[in-house]
């Protein structure tokens, strides 16, 4: 009896392995969807559309971007977690989605570790703190002084609740012992529009989004959430130079599949992504937008998700950060 049961298990495992190989051999045979958890116009959309374009060429089938903003990126994550693990639904996952939001919102309908299969981390980008060009605030120390003089009077925009933009703003508040009012938007584009239109006093968003506005003279950059300056904004000081060395927060982006995806599919997608990441064209295109190319293995990406989840969890707890 035990032998018969073991034989059936062995046959089932063999069948699953053969199915996975067959899937990978024939994959993809129809268009693939890449879910991006933000609307058009931000760093995530820039990265997602570039990889969709390149994967379309390498896989021989269209890879179509599906922007699903909202709920601090949870809407997109929930949709992908429920999708069939056949490789036809990919997700451009973010640090906010898999490492930050789960520490802020306990009723999420997805698990950042159990519900996704990491394929590869593909990019990273720091944030910038900016104000209107006409603002009397012209440096980070000036912003901190103004915020301390008028607690709760200044507001800052983010690209959504639970995103890295949001948490970077909260980290700034914690490190500088100031009180800034958080105003979340559904994505970077409307958040920046809010600052340009005077709806908020400060924006905390990615270098990709804010650099063009700063270069055009419409906004002033006060500080980068990185240890060094960016060639895109040589006049904007790093966190250390601005007097707040702990204000280092770069967001990563990576490709994940729904749980249950066959290892052969992960390997095939990972190989295609690695070729794209090594291309000089990718580094050149990303550099124009202040984005750094990242590469790695599925195991390395899984470790990054877990480690960042722990890191941001500690920051959230220490700063008593909550979703408004």
- Domains of the chain and any CATH numbers: 30-124+251-319 (3.40.190.150), 126-224 (3.40.190.10)
Instruction: Work out the average pLDDT over 70-92.
Output: 96
For residue 67, name the pLDDT band (cuts at 50, 70, 90): very high
pLDDT at 9: 52
Residue 65 near residue 92, CB atoms below 8 Å: no
pTM for this predicted structure: 0.81
Q: What is the C-alpha to C-alpha distance for residues 192 and 189, in angstroms, rounded to an integer? A: 5
How would you class 278 by CB atoms within 10 Å of its CB: exposed for 0-12, middle for 13-18, buried for 19 or more?
exposed
Q: Is the pLDDT of residue 152 over 50?
A: yes
pLDDT tens string 180-236: 999 999 889 999 999 999 999 999 999 999 999 999 999 999 999 998 999 999 999
Closest CA to 72 of 100, 50, 46, 52: 100
For residue 78, name the pLDDT band (cuts at 50, 70, 90): very high
The more confidently predicted of residues 43 and 55 is 55
Q: Is the pLDDT of residue 165 over 80?
A: yes
For residue 6, name the pLDDT band (cuts at 50, 70, 90): low
DSSP helix/strand/coil, 51 = helix
pLDDT tens string 249-295: 889 999 999 999 999 999 999 999 999 999 999 999 999 999 999 99
H/E stretch holding 129? strand 116-132
> DSSP letters along 82-113, please?
TS-SSSSEEEEEEHIIIIIHHHH-TT-SS-TT
Q: What is the mean pLDDT of the chain?
A: 91
The more confidently predicted of residues 6 and 48 is 48
Residue 45 near residue 65, CB atoms below 8 Å: yes
pLDDT at 18: 47
Residue 101 near residue 312, CB atoms below 8 Å: no
The more confidently predicted of residues 322 and 104 is 104
Q: Is the pLDDT of residue 317 over 90?
A: no
Instruction: Work out the average pLDDT over 32-37.
Output: 98
């Amino acid at each position: 009896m035990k032998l018969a049961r073991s034989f059936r298990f062995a046959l089932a495992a063999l069948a699953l392995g053969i199915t996975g190989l067959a899937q990978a051999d024939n994959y993809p045979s129809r268009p693939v969807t890449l879910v991006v958890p933000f609307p058009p116009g931000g760093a995530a959309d820039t990265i997602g559309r570039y990889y969709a374009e390149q994967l379309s060429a390498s896989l021989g089938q269209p890879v179509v971007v599906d922007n699903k903003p909202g709920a601090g990126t949870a809407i997109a994550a929930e949709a992908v977690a429920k999708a069939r693990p056949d490789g036809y639904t990919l997700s451009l996952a973010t640090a906010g989605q898999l490492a930050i939001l789960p520490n802020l919102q306990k009723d999420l309908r997805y698990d950042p570790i159990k519900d996704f299969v990491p394929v590869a981390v593909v990019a990273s980008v720091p944030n910038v703190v900016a104000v209107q060009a006409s603002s009397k605030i012209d440096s980070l120390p000036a912003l901190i002084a103004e915020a301390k003089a008028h607690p709760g009077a200044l507001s800052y925009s983010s690209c959504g609740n639970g995103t890295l933009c949001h948490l970077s703003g909260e980290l700034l508040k914690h490190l500088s012992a100031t009180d800034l009012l958080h105003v979340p938007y559904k994505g970077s584009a409307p958040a920046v529009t809010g600052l340009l239109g005077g709806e908020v006093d400060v924006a905390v968003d990615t270098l990709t989004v804010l650099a063009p506005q700063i270069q055009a003279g419409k906004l002033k950059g006060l500080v980068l959430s990185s240890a060094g300056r960016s060639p895109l904004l040589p006049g904007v000081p790093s966190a250390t130079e601005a007097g707040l060395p702990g204000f280092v927060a770069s967001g990563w982006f990576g490709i994940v599949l729904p749980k249950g995806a066959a290892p052969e599919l992960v390997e095939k997608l990972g190989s295609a992504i690695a070729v794209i990441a090594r291309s000089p064209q990718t580094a050149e295109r990303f550099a124009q937008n202040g984005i750094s190319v990242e590469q790695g293995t599925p195991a390395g990406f899984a470790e990054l998700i877990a480690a960042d989840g722990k890191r941001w969890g500690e920051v959230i707890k220490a700063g008593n950060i909550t979703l408004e």
